[in-house]
Every structure is written in C-alpha cells, then in structure tokens.
C-alpha cells in the first residue's frame, strides 16, 4: 500500500475552512486540474454514501473520478474512495484540527499499486502525481484563504 500525505496550517477557523472545502461549488477554485462536476448541477456531499463524479485534467487528458463518501465528521474528517479508469482506486482522507493560529489540514491518499508493469507506473508516476496534487491543493487553498482574509 502506498500512502502519500501532506500537512499545512492555515490562518482561518476550522469551521470556515471545513465549510469551504467540503462545498462542491468551491472545488473548481482549489482542486488541481478541475474541469467540471459530471452529472447534475446539484450534488450532495455530506452524508456517507453520497457520490460525485468530477472530471479533472490528469496526465494531459480528462479523467473522470467517481468518488464515494465514506465518512463525514463535521469540522473534523472527510474520508472517501475514488475510482478512475486506467489508474488504481484510492482512499482519500482529509483531517481538520483546530490550531492556535487557525486550523491544521492533513490530506492523505492511499492506493494499492496494480500488478505487473503497471505497478511500476503506479509506484513512481502515480505516487509523484498524487504528491504534486496534494501540494498544489495546499498552494491553491493558501491563495483562496489569503484572498478571503484580505476581504
């Protein structure tokens, strides 16, 4: 199992951050490579069992990520799985914790490399792409929260 993790502290309240990050209408502002939400305009993302399909640009092409929410603890934890064609399925976790200067955000993605030659691709290329996406997410959220603080 490969696990990729990134952590960062932000100068906003955990409640404000959680509300912003889990609101599907905001995903285009911070999600790396975000193209669109597939399917209906109104989607639900707050109750275990909710599903959302998003389209992202990955490796130079549009890829559909089918996501299923497994756990949603207000201001604390979001856990979901994703399935995408041509890549290993993944388990995602977003942890939110109150901190003296705002909140601490931990993003993690775990996946099992596939067998055979594609497993090498997963261990090297996919792992790097996931790490890059997590760090880009943090950069994008820094920009968003900085703009919000400036008003």
Instruction: Write the pLDDT tens digit of every residue in 91-133.
Output: 999 999 999 989 999 999 999 999 999 999 999 999 999 999 9
Q: How high is the pLDDT of residue 41?
A: 63
- Structural domains of the chain, with CATH: 2-150 (3.30.530.20)
In the structure, what pLDDT confidence band is assigned to residue 40 with cuts at 50, 70 and 90? low
Considering the entire predicted model, what is its pTM? Answer: 0.92
Q: Annotate 30-62 with DSSP letters as a single string.
A: HSTTEEEEES-SS---SSTT-EEEEEEEETTEE
> What are the C-alpha distances in Å from 149 to residues 78, 106, 118, 127, 144?
24, 21, 44, 33, 9
* Per-residue model confidence as pLDDT tens digits over 47-83: 999 999 999 998 788 989 999 999 999 999 999 999 9
Q: How high is the pLDDT of residue 149?
A: 67
């Amino acid at each position: 199992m490969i696990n990729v993790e990134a952590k960062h502290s932000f100068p906003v309240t955990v409640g404000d951050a959680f509300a912003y990050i889990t609101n599907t209408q905001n995903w285009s502002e911070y999600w790396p490579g975000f193209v669109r939400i597939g399917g209906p305009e109104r989607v639900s993302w707050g109750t275990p069992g909710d599903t959302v399909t998003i389209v992202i640009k990955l490796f130079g092409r549009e890829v559909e990520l089918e996501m299923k929410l497994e756990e949603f603890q207000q201001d604390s934890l979001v856990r979901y799985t994703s399935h995408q064609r041509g890549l290993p399925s993944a388990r995602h976790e977003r942890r939110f914790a109150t901190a003296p200067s705002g909140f601490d955000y931990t993003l993690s993605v775990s996946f099992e490399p596939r067998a055979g030659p594609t497993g090498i691709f997963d261990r090297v290329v996919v792992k790097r792409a996931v790490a890059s996406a997590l760090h880009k997410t943090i950069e994008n959220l820094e920009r968003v929260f900085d703009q919000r603080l400036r008003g």
